[in-house]
C-alpha cells in the first residue's frame, strides 16, 4: 500500500490555515499550496488556532516580515504542546536562504515541516514523511522552474495569477531575491498560453502575469520570445477581458512594450515602475543600472504615449549612502512623474546583500525623510484621484467592504480602488460607476 492510500482516511475532517507574507508571487505560491492541501482532503478555515495544519509562507524582502514571522510562530508553542497532533509548517523565501532557515531550525522546535520556494509540488510527500516518522522534515531545492502546468486555487473564480518566470539576475545591492528565488528562468510561451487559455475557458476575466522582472522575460531562454511579444499573444486570447503584469524593471522598459499596451484594449492602463531612489548617485550604489534621467525619460514616455495610464512605484528611504541632497532628488522625481500610488519603505538591511555591510543612517533622520516623502506624495495621489470625479468608469467588483457589507469594492483598469453601493450578487461582474468622491487612496461613486 502506498502512503497516499494508507493515509486516505486520515485527512477526513482535517482543516488548514495559511498565512502569507510578501508579494503576489508568494500569494500565488500559497494558492498552489492550498490546492495540494485540499487535494489531500484538508478544508480551509480562517481561525489559525483551530486548524490541524498551520502553514506560514514567508517573505525575506523586508525585516519587518521576518520579525513578524518569528513572533507568530512563537505564539504557537503553547498550542503545539497542548495539541501535538497539529502540524506546523514554514515555507517560502525565508526558508530558501540558509541564515533565516537556521533560525527556525534552532529556535522553533514547534515547526514540523520546512520547505523552500521550489519544493511546493513535493508538499504532499513531505506531509506523508512526517506522518510516517513523526520527525521534522526539511526539504530545500535549487531546481529551476518547470514548464509543467501547475494547478492552484484562486481567491475567487474571476481573477488569477500566472507565473511567467522566476528568479532575478539584477543583483540590486539591497535585495535578497536572487538568493531566495535564484537566477532568472522563463517558462516556455506555449505553457503560459495554455494556462491562460485554460483559465479563460473556465470563466476567469482578469489575469495578472507575475515575474521578478517581467521585462527581461526570455533573456536567458533557449527560445526566441520577448515580453512584449508574449504579452501581445496573450492579449489576443479570445474572452480575456483584462490583462495585467508585475513587476517591471525601468532599465528594460522598451518602446515595444509601451506600444503593445497602447494598442491592445484589454491590457490594463496601469504600470508599476519601481523608482527606489531619485538620486543617480544612490541608484548607482544600489546597482539599479539606470539613472534619474533614464528613469524620467521612460516614465514620461508612458504618460505621453498613454495619457490615461496610472503609474505606481516603490521608494526606499534612507539607503545608507543617501544624503539630504539625494533625498531631495527623490522628491523631485515624485513631483515630475506624479505617481498614482506608491509602496514606500525605510531601508532594511538584508543578510547576504552588499548593502547590509554599510553603515546605516540614524533612525530619526530616516523617519523624518519618510514623513516628508509621504507629505509630498499623498497630495499628488489625492489630486490624481480627484481627476476621476464626474467620470464614468468600468469596475470589476471584487468583494464586500470590510467595514460595510452594503458597499462593494473593485478596481478600474488603472488599478484605482473603487467603493460603490451594490448588491453582492454583482461580485465578479464588470459594472459602470459614476465617480462622485475621492480620497488619496480610493475613489467612490454611484452604480449606473
For residue 397, give the 3-state DSSP assignment. Answer: strand
Residue 383 vs residues 16, 60, 337, 412, 437: alpha-carbon distances, Å? 44, 34, 13, 17, 12
> Was 59 annotated as part of a binding site?
yes
Separation CA 35–CA 151 (nearest Å): 7
> Was 168 annotated as part of a binding site?
yes
Separation CA 350–CA 93 (nearest Å): 13
Separation CA 173–CA 329 (nearest Å): 20
Closest among 205, 221, 173 to 353, alpha carbons compared: 173
Length of the chain: 448
> Was 93 annotated as part of a binding site?
yes
Give the cell for residue 194. Answer: 495554455
Give the cell for residue 378. Answer: 499623498
Cα dihedral 11/159/302/345 (nearest 10): -40
> Was 334 annotated as part of a binding site?
no
For residue 235, what is the enclosing H or E element? helix 227-235
* Per-position b or e across 41-73, b if 16+ CB within 10 A of its CB: ebeeeeebeebbbbbbbbbbbbeebbebbeeeb
Which residues have C-beta within 8 Å of that of residue 391, sequence separation ≥ 6?
434, 435
CA 321: distance to chain centroid? 28
**Residue 316 near residue 287 (C-beta atoms within 8 A):** no
> Was 23 annotated as part of a binding site?
yes
Phi/psi-derived region of residue 213, left when phi > 0, alpha when psi is between -120 and 50, beta in every other case = beta
Residues annotated within a binding site for [4Fe-4S] cluster: 23, 59, 93, 168, 172, 175
Query: What residues form the annotated binding site?
Result: 23, 59, 93, 168, 172, 175
Amino acid at each position: 500500500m502506498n502512503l497516499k492510500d494508507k493515509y486516505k482516511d486520515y485527512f477526513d475532517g482535517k482543516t488548514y490555515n495559511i498565512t502569507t507574507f510578501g508579494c503576489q508571487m508568494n500569494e500565488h505560491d500559497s494558492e498552489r499550496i492550498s490546492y495540494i492541501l485540499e487535494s489531500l482532503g484538508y478544508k480551509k478555515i480562517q481561525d489559525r488556532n483551530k486548524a490541524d495544519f498551520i502553514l506560514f509562507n514567508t517573505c525575506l524582502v523586508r525585516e519587518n516580515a521576518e520579525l513578524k514571522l518569528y513572533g507568530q510562530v512563537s505564539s504557537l508553542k503553547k498550542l503545539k504542546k497542548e495539541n501535538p497532533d497539529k502540524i506546523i509548517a514554514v515555507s517560502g523565501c525565508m526558508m530558501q536562504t540558509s541564515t533565516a532557515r537556521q533560525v527556525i531550525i534552532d529556535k522553533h522546535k514547534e515547526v514540523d515541516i520546512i520547505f523552500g520556494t521550489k519544493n511546493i509540488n513535493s508538499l504532499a510527500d513531505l506531509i506523508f514523511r512526517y506522518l510516517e516518522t513523526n520527525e521534522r522534515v526539511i526539504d530545500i531545492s535549487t531546481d529551476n522552474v518547470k514548464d509543467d502546468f501547475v494547478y492552484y486555487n484562486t481567491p475567487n473564480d474571476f481573477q488569477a495569477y500566472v507565473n511567467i518566470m522566476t528568479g532575478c539576475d539584477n543583483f540590486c545591492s539591497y535585495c535578497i531575491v536572487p538568493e531566495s528565488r535564484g537566477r532568472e528562468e522563463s517558462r516556455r510561451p506555449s505553457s503560459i498560453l495554455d494556462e491562460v487559455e485554460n483559465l479563460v475557458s473556465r470563466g476567469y476575466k482578469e489575469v495578472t502575469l507575475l515575474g521578478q522582472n517581467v521585462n527581461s522575460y526570455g533573456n536567458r531562454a533557449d527560445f526566441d520570445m520577448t515580453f512584449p511579444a508574449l504579452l501581445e499573444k496573450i492579449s489576443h486570447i479570445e474572452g480575456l477581458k483584462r490583462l495585467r503584469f508585475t513587476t517591471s524593471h525601468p532599465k528594460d522598459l522598451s518602446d515595444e512594450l509601451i506600444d503593445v499596451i497602447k494598442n491592445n484594449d484589454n491590457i490594463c492602463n496601469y504600470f508599476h515602475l519601481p523608482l527606489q531612489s531619485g538620486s543617480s548617485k544612490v541608484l548607482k550604489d544600489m546597482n539599479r543600472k539606470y539613472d534619474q534621467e533614464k528613469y524620467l525619460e521612460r516614465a514620461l514616455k508612458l504618460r505621453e504615449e498613454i495619457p490615461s495610464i496610472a503609474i505606481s512605484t516603490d521608494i526606499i528611504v534612507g539607503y545608507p549612502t543617501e544624503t539630504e541632497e539625494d533625498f531631495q532628488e527623490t522628491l523631485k522625481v515624485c513631483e515630475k512623474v506624479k505617481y498614482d500610488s506608491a509602496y514606500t519603505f525605510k531601508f532594511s538591511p538584508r543578510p547576504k546583500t552588499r548593502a547590509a555591510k554599510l553603515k546605516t543612517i540614524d533612525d530619526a533622520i530616516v523617519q523624518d525623510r519618510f514623513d516628508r516623502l509621504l507629505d509630498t506624495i499623498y497630495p499628488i495621489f489625492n489630486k490624481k484621484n480627484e481627476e476621476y470625479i464626474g467620470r464614468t468608469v468600468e469596475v470589476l467588483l471584487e468583494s464586500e467592504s470590510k467595514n460595510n457589507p452594503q458597499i462593494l469594492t473593485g478596481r478600474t483598469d488603472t488599478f484605482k480602488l473603487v467603493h460603490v453601493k451594490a448588491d453582492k450578487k454583482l461580485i465578479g461582474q464588470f459594472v459602470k460607476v459614476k465617480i462622485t468622491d475621492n480620497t488619496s487612496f480610493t475613489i467612490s461613486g454611484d452604480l449606473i
